């Protein structure tokens, strides 16, 4: 027990030092946060332009579509902030710094995840949160205990889903090494798929983004449940309550993949 507490203290000390390091160069940090606000706004541009042309898309009006956008982006930005830097793994492998991590008496994934906390991602999370707050009442969502539980569950569950995708993509780097872009099709591709109504996707694509990479669970399904809509065939709206459950198999797969990757790794003996 005491050992566990000492472990946590070590993680905490590293995270606090990383946060302090980023806040030291204030202008640089402000520019980074601002650029990430820009990333959030540029993602919103699609919703804006599309709804300038049409009134409903995939069975959703503009405010419900904004909710889908907001939940997906909030979960992705939080996951990116927490573990997005796991895709630095190839650099650690190439430079031999991974061996130093492996020598310390803490799990490798825990160390890598806490080796950085990308506070600049708060910019994109902030845009998502603002859109969420503006869109909730306009989409006709009544404040209630059930609504709060659904929102909390989907943000936490969605963040967990994207964290798992980042870990899985990171684990793949043990095999690919130059494959940062392979990670993109998982993580950024999943985020991109999550922020549009899944009802638009043709059958096989919808199936993949629900049951393989559970992108629909992050935002579209919870919004169906929040706004009392029925989904397309094969996507009943009660699934919107299951976002935290959807994160479980992805995490299991990610951790198995990670373990296999670490076992495969052999140091260069630096």
Partner 1 sequence: MPVTAYPALAAAGFRRYSAYRAATAAGALANTVFGAVKAAVLTGTVVAAGGSVAGYGVAQAATFAWLSQALLAPVSVFADDRLARRVRTGDVAVDLARPVDPQLAAWADDLGRAAFQLLPRGLPPLLVGALTTGLVLPPEPAGYLLGCASLVLGVSVSFALRWAVNLTAFWLIDVRGVLLLYTVCATVLTGLAVPVAWFPPWLAALAAATPFPSVLQAPADVFTGVVTGAAALRVVAVQTAWLVVVLAAGRLLLAAGSRRLVVQGG
- Least distance between partner 1 and beta carbon 52 (Å): 5
Residues that bind partner 1 (CB under 8 A): 28, 31-32, 34-36, 38-39, 41-42, 45-46, 49-50, 52-58, 176-182, 184-185, 188-189, 192-193, 196-197, 200-202, 205
- Least distance between partner 1 and beta carbon 167 (Å): 17
Nearer to partner 1, 3 or 181 (CB): 181
- Least distance between partner 1 and beta carbon 251 (Å): 21
- Least distance between partner 1 and beta carbon 181 (Å): 4
Write a three-state SS string for the chain. CHHHHHHHHHHHHHHHHHHHHHHHCHHHHHHHHHHHHHHHHHHHHHHHHHHHHCCEECCEEHHHHHHHHHHHHHHHHHHHHHHHHHHHHHHHHHHCCHHHHHHCCCCHHHHHHHCCCCHHHHHHHHHHHHHHHHHHHHCCCCCCHHHHHHHHHHHHHHHHHHHHHHHHHHHHHHHHCCCHHHHHHHHHHHHHHHCCCHHHCCHHHHHHHHHHCCHHHHCHHHHHHHCCCCCCCCCCHHHHHHHHHHHHHHHHHHHHHHHHHHHHCCCCCC
Nearer to partner 1, 209 or 241 (CB): 209
Nearer to partner 1, 185 or 230 (CB): 185
- Least distance between partner 1 and beta carbon 259 (Å): 22
Nearer to partner 1, 80 or 241 (CB): 80
Nearer to partner 1, 159 or 195 (CB): 195
Residues 41 and 193: their CA atoms lie apart, in Å, by 17
First to last CA, the chain: 35
Tokens of 195: 């922020």
Nearer to partner 1, 128 or 150 (CB): 128
Nearer to partner 1, 13 or 50 (CB): 50
């Amino acid at each position: 027990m005491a050992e566990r507490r000492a472990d946590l203290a070590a993680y905490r000390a590293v995270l606090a030092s990383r946060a302090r390091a980023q806040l030291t160069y204030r202008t640089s940090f402000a520019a980074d946060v601002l650029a990430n606000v820009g990333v959030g706004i540029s993602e919103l541009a699609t919703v804006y332009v599309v709804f300038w042309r049409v009134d409903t898309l995939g069975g959703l009006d503009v405010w419900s579509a904004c909710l889908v956008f907001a939940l997906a982006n909030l979960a992705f930005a939080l996951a990116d902030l927490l573990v997005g830097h796991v895709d630095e793994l190839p650099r650690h492998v190439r430079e031999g710094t991974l061996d130093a991590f492996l020598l310390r008496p803490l799990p490798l994934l825990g160390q890598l995840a806490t080796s950085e906390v990308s506070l600049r991602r708060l910019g994109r999370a902030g845009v998502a949160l603002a859109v969420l707050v503006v869109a909730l009442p306009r989409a006709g969502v009544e404040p209630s205990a059930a609504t709060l539980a659904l929102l909390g569950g989907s943000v936490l569950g969605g963040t967990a889903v994207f964290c798992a995708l980042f870990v899985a993509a990171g684990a793949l780097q043990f095999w690919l090494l130059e494959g940062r872009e392979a990670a993109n099709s998982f993580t950024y591709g999943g985020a991109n798929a999550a922020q549009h109504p899944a009802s638009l996707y043709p059958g096989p694509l919808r199936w993949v983004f629900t049951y393989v990479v559970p992108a629909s669970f992050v935002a579209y399904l919870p919004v169906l449940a929040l706004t009392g809509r029925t989904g397309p065939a094969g996507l009943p709206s009660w699934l919107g309550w299951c976002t935290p459950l959807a994160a479980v198999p992805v995490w299991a797969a990610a951790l198995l993949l990670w373990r296999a990757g670490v076992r495969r790794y052999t140091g260069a003996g630096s």
